[in-house]
Chains A and B, each alone.
Chain A
Amino acid sequence: MIKENGKVMVHVENLKKNFDKLEVLKDISIDITEGEVVVLLGPSGSGKSTFLRCINRLEEATSGKIVVDGMEITDKHTDINKAREDIGMVFQHFNLFNNKNVIDNIMLAPVELKKMTKDEAREKAMALLQRVGLSDKAEAYPSQLSGGQKQRVAIARALAMNPNVILFDEPTSALDPEMVGEVLDVMKELAGAGMTMIVVTHEIGFAREVADRIVFVDGGYIVEQGTPNEIINHPKEKRTIDFLNKVL
């Protein structure tokens, strides 16, 4: 079900992104409502990840407008660091800080950005570790964790800043198959708790089960979007049908 009436959390209008002469995003417009879980599907190179990275300005949009929770990301005068505090991101390759143990990974940003005192941050971090099922790993270093554990810590790290929205950039693509489930479970729990989530993934099962809306992206455009039932079971566009035939 597309949530029509809620507050718009992410507003994207005519977003274009070029890398030199290569047009990756040609014209993307979308509104994402508070609490909505949106899954982006599409072939590799279709611009899904680039789109995600434009939302917190890890990539600079070439043109167009992005507004997240009232802050205009594409406006040069916006304090991007301030805006990013409320936009969590989870990466394909986890990107845990290798020089810090698990608890310090989670505490770093809240403490450094003066969101919390050290004690508050520690308490919060422990609570988050419990939430992702890793209370016993607080003192471990990233190199001592499995891929699935790393990604769960990365999710806890993003949550520590109390973000309004979390961007997931292929969070399970670098994992061994047996670890995909534990990460998806954490994401399901988050979705259930009402977090606004934008997820780039190839996990059709997750999309079917958890997404409020699936957006199919190809060639730098949104080809079609709708509920999981509409997109996965009754796709209208030929490109969507071709893609689903390959992955299902």
Chain B
Amino acid sequence: MIQIIQSYGTMILRALGQTLILCLLSLCVAMVIGLIFALLNVSHNRICNFLGTLYVDAIRGVPLIVLAYFIYFGVPAGMKMMGAVDFRLTALQAGTAALSMNCGAYMAEIIRAGIQSVDRGQMEASRSLGLTYGQSMRLVVLPQAIKTMIPSIINQFIITLKDTSILSVIGFPELTNMGKTISGNTFKSLETWAIIGIVYMIVIVSLSKAAKRLERKLNVGR
């Protein structure tokens, strides 16, 4: 075990870095996607509602691994058919796209639930003063929704961090992929996967501890 850490330690850390980059990029994009589709879902326009529901249902109905294959292999093949021969996606691009689309759908549901948890009277009071729907959302409803959303968002962050491991299938050099390489080179499966597992655990546990603290801090102002 110590031997593995000695010879592969820096590579494991680098792979962890890749995992975190992929995760953070995806989360940022997912927040935007989630907000957009949540707003579509709570709007009073039927077409908007339809689009919002369609996206969430479609993405939730497809396993992440299939989505990843589709984007990494399927989309360039499709582009080729349409004449764009040089179109290529790096594993990072495809991985970020797949993960953020996936996470975005769940985020949309979390944000929608958060918005709907805010009493309707808040929006009405804001509108009655002459503020627009957008101003009311931004200044009154969303700031209140975020507080109730935080635990679910943290939970989703953790799920997404773990889901990065699925993207080892498209060859992205993240932590799980590194585990495969190391166990292949050393034939020490037990030690390798124990180490990889512990690295994930350390990161996730410390993240969720930090998140808990943040949550408590935000609740003080209430």
Contacts and interface: CB of A to CB of B under 8 A. Distances in A.
Contacts of A96: 125
B128 A87 contact: yes
Interface residues of B, number: 19
A81 B132 contact: yes
A101 B76 CA distance: 53
A95 B129 contact: no
B83 interface: no
A58 interface: yes
Contacts of B222: 141, 143
Contacts of B61: none
A58 B128 contact: yes
Interface string A91-118: 1010111111000000011001100000
Contacts of A83: 130
Contacts of A85: 129-130
A165 interface: no
A97 B129 contact: no
B130 A95 contact: no
Given A58-B124, A85-B129, A157-B129, A98 B139 contact: no
Given A98-B144, A99-B143, A161 B130 contact: yes
A109 B131 contact: yes
Given A97-B140, A108-B139, A143-B222, A113 B131 contact: yes
A39 B186 CA distance: 86
A84 interface: yes
Contacts of B132: 81
A246 interface: no
Nearest to A104: B139
Interface size class of A (residues with CB under 8 A): 20 to 34
B128 A97 contact: no
A113 B130 contact: yes
Interface in B191-222: 221-222
B127 A84 contact: yes
A109 B122 contact: no
B57 interface: no
Nearest to B120: A95
B118 to A, nearest CB: 9
B125 A89 contact: yes
A112 B131 contact: yes
A82 interface: yes
B90 interface: no
Nearest to A85: B130
A127 B212 CA distance: 41
A56 interface: yes
21 contacts: A56-B128, A81-B130, A83-B130, A88-B128, A91-B124, A91-B125, A95-B121, A95-B122, A96-B125, A98-B122, A98-B144, A99-B140, A99-B143, A108-B126, A108-B131, A109-B129, A112-B139, A113-B129, A141-B222, A161-B129, A161-B130
3 tightest A-B contacts by CB? Answer: A85-B130, A95-B125, A109-B129
